[in-house]
Amino acid sequence: MQVKKVLTLTWGLPDPSPLLCALHHLGWEAVWVSNASDARQALAQQPIQAGLLLLGPHTGSSTGHGPLSWTHLESAVTSIQRLQPLEWVALCDASALESAALRTLLLESFFDYQLTPPDWAEVARVLDYLYRRSELRRSLQAPSTPAAGEATLGMVGHSAVLAQLRLKLRKVAANHAPVLISGESGSGKELAARAIHDSSDRCTAPFVAVNCAAIAPSLIQSELFGYEKGAFTGATARKQGLIEAAHGGTLFLDEIGDLSLELQANLLRFLQERSIYRVGGLNSVAVDARVVAATHVQLQHAVSQGRFREDLFYRLNVLPIDVPPLRARREDVVVLAQHFFALCGGHSSTRLHGFAQNALAAMAAYDWPGNVRELYNRVQRAVVMSDSRWISAADLGLSTPEPLVGIGLENARTQAEREIIQSTLTKAGHNITQAARDLGVSRMTLYRLMDKHGIVI
């Protein structure tokens, strides 16, 4: 397994050896530096997953470094960050916090701080968490391979719930029967439909997505089925409809429950006969398109109320897929947030370093009624609007949850081990041999660890 290294910058500390020894006992290799130049050299020579600032006693007091030193310290941390963005933890005594300059520095540039003498179990928990974040960031920034893309189906996350969804999508992709995808708004139904298309033998043909709720009722007939020249005023030329445009590929009908009963009858005829009539047309047009429909409403309930045709429901519901809400796979929230942070330009920003601890806690505690779409929108807004170097719970528009009881050192290590194994397996495209090589363990050891953590691929 990769050695965990922490860049340890001492400031006003004559003898750091006791603290370096404590870090060693926590399972970390401390790379000790005393200035920015040494730090940059250390970062250029080896991978380092976290930064730890050790402030000596009375630093910033009348007998310590004074205000000028805080400016030098901020300059040192900033210059280190330019070479490699690290997430930092500070250890300082209570007297140092009397300095407004230090408080500002901690708020803007540090993930967390601990008062000395520190609770080493808490320090270990925070550092192990930063290690996991570093590994996740590295895996997200690494070029994706075709094998990895095929393994994840473009879906970010490591939860067992998501793994089961991927398995169902692969099975469905091998068949040409209609699919009905159910799930709450924003849960990723279109992503699931695209995964089916991309994993099927139709992947090189068009994927045509239609939001049935977004097209005006007066236009949807001609948009779906097309029209002939002269079919109505303004029809100066023949127009191909969206169903016809999907020939050879996949037609994705989102919010299928919003179709009128008349259009439902036309769609049923297409599913039965595999052909359509353009508006104003007399000749049928053969169309070979797989239909994948999606809805956030209970179609069976709509059938019982007479708002949806029962025969169409059974035609579509040959292969049902249920996309779980985000709250059912909370383990994926932070991974998704990091992914969206990168997509929104967070990692390329010289201003932003990542998510503050209170933001991570708030995201983990929130129920996400808007699901993945809401998470993306909140992260995107925070990347643009945050005034700090760390995105806070307030930047995300979330309330800070009550403090959680510490999970303990052993539990933190177990959780870190499980997440690293999952991340490595995902990057390796679930290739056991490659993942074992990346982790530096044998195949048998990896199988044993997977069994220990209940990881199934």
The reported pLDDT for the residue numbered 74 is: 72
Decide which of 145 and 391 is more confident.
Answer: 391
The reported pLDDT for the residue numbered 348 is: 56
- 262 vs 119: CA distance, rounded Å: 69
Q: Do domains 5-118 and 326-391 have the same CATH topology?
A: no
- 430 vs 457: CA distance, rounded Å: 7
pLDDT in tens, 342-352: 888 765 555 77
Q: Which two tokens stand for residue 134?
A: 């570093």
- List, as one string, the DSSP characters of 45-56: HS---EEEEEEP
pLDDT in tens, 375-407: 999 999 999 888 888 888 889 999 876 554 555
Q: What SS3 class is residue 272?
A: helix
Q: What mean pLDDT, rounded, does the chain reach?
A: 82
- 416 vs 418: CA distance, rounded Å: 5
Q: How many other CB atoms sit within 10 Å of the CB of residue 438? A: 18
Q: Which two tokens stand for residue 448?
A: 């044993």
Nearest to 399 by CA among 348, 361, 431: 361
Under 8 Å between Cβ of 208 and 240: no
Q: Which residues, other chains included, contact 304 with Cβ-Cβ below 8 Å and sequence gap of 6+?
A: none
pLDDT in tens, 93-133: 888 887 777 887 787 778 888 888 888 888 888 888 888 87
- Portion of the chain with pLDDT greater than 70, in percent: 84
* E strand residue ranges, 171-283: 179-182, 207-211, 250-254, 275-276
Strand pairing report for 50-55 and 290-295 = unpaired
The reported pLDDT for the residue numbered 149 is: 47
Q: Determine the topology of domain 5-118 in CATH.
A: Rossmann fold (3.40.50)
Average pLDDT in the 149-174 region? 84
Decide which of 361 and 409 is more confident.
Answer: 361
Q: In what order do the strands lie in the sheet with 112-115?
A: 29-33, 5-11, 50-55, 88-92, 112-115
- 262 vs 351: CA distance, rounded Å: 55
Asked if residue 11 has pLDDT above 80, the reply is: no
Nearest to 56 by CA among 88, 1, 9, 23: 9
- Portion of the chain with pLDDT greater than 90, in percent: 29
What pTM was computed for the model?
0.61
Average pLDDT in the 255-259 region? 90
Q: Residue-wise over 279-304: b if at least 16 C-beta within 10 A, else e?
A: bebeeebebebbbbbbbbeebeebbe
Give the largest Cα separation in the chain, rounded: 95
Asked if residue 172 has pLDDT above 60, the reply is: yes
- The CATH number that domain 153-322 falls under is 3.40.50.300
Q: Which range in 178-182, 263-267, 277-281, 296-300 is most confidently predicted, on average pLDDT?
A: 178-182
Q: What SS3 class is residue 135?
A: helix
The reported pLDDT for the residue numbered 112 is: 83
Q: Which two tokens stand for residue 267?
A: 């769609």
pLDDT in tens, 317-338: 999 999 999 999 998 998 899 8
- 140 vs 264: CA distance, rounded Å: 43
Q: Which two tokens stand for residue 452?
A: 């220990």
β-partners of residue 321 are 181
Nearest to 452 by CA among 424, 427, 417, 423: 417
Where does the pLDDT of residue 144 fall: very low under 50, low under 70, confident under 90, or very high at 90 and above? Answer: very low
The reported pLDDT for the residue numbered 196 is: 95
Asked if residue 61 has pLDDT above 50, the reply is: no
Asked if residue 63 has pLDDT above 90, the reply is: no
Where does the pLDDT of residue 411 fall: very low under 50, low under 70, confident under 90, or very high at 90 and above? Answer: low
Q: Which two tokens stand for residue 314?
A: 């059974």
Q: Which residues, other chains included, contact 308 with Cβ-Cβ below 8 Å and sequence gap of 6+?
A: 257, 264, 299, 302
**CATH 3.40.50.720 for the 326-391 domain, yes or no:** no
The reported pLDDT for the residue numbered 147 is: 44
Where does the pLDDT of residue 83 fall: very low under 50, low under 70, confident under 90, or very high at 90 and above? Answer: low
- Percent of the chain as helix, strand, coil, to the nearest 5: 50, 15, 35
Asked if residue 152 has pLDDT above 90, the reply is: no
Query: Domains of the chain: which residue ranges?
Result: 5-118, 153-322, 326-391
pLDDT in tens, 66-77: 444 666 777 777
The reported pLDDT for the residue numbered 457 is: 62
Q: Which two tokens stand for residue 112?
A: 């967390």
